[in-house]
Amino acid sequence: MNYHIQHPVIDDRMARLRQQDCPTSQFRTYVQEIAQMMVPDVTANLFTLPTQVQTPLEITTGRKLERDIILVPILRAGLGMLEGFLRLLPESSVAHIGMARNENTLDPESYYFNAPVNLADADIIVLDPMLATGGSASAAISELKKRGAKHLRFACLVAAPEGLERLNSDHSDVPVYYPALDSRLNEHGYILPGLGDAGDRIFGTVQG
Ligand code: PRP
Ligand code: URA
């Protein structure tokens, strides 16, 4: 299932983010702000359970989230979205997956994995701003499933049709959330119009 998140403030931030001359500090802030604004949509259908609450006046029934939440930024660029999600979901645990896309083959190469033990029981939100060929997201999700994860969703900022198709086909059980659906990939696997290399722009490592 694909969810195109639409909101005028997100659109405004996305246009600023795409600007070639957007400085690193602003770029980071916009990524974080957009991620934070995505949280209500990304979590809208999480299951809740009834819970008894003692107010200062009487006992009532409230709702609590059924499962713990684990946020999984795909390194590096996924880290840019993490703070936005943690602001609204501060009780979440964080797993880290390192994936680097080989520039020639465009295949993801896994270099790091560190996750809490309760993957099977948690609602897992995988974060990466860019869904290009879909290789990195698909491999990260496969890795999480191999270690027991069952309730997964994927959130990005910019999706290419090729990446969406790949993810939907490899992991049809994983909903994908994105505020921008771009037109295509170029011959180097970069999203057009896109925003360039998200990791480099977030961390200021653009080669001059
Ligand atoms: C970027 C991006 C995704 C991946 C998307 O990461 O953050 O993880 O490429 O491309 P794909 O959908 O074709 O796999 P990159 O490998 O450049 O690493 P970085 O985050 O460390 O810059
Ligand atoms: N990774 C990025 O950071 N940007 C793209 O456009 C494609 C992959």
Instruction: Report CA Rg, the chain.
Output: 18
Contact 176, 107 (CB under 8 A): no
Q: Is 130 in the pocket of ligand 2 (CB under 6 A)?
A: yes
pTM > 0.95: yes or no: yes
Task: Evaluate if residue 208 carries a pLDDT over 60.
Answer: no
Residue located nearest, by CA, to atom 7 of ligand 2: 190
Taking only the tens place, the pLDDT of each residue in 6-16 is 999 999 999 99
CATH number of this structure's domain 2-46+67-203: 3.40.50.2020
Mean pLDDT along residues 80-103: 97
Contact 51, 61 (CB under 8 A): yes
Q: Is 81 in the pocket of ligand 1 (CB under 6 A)?
A: no
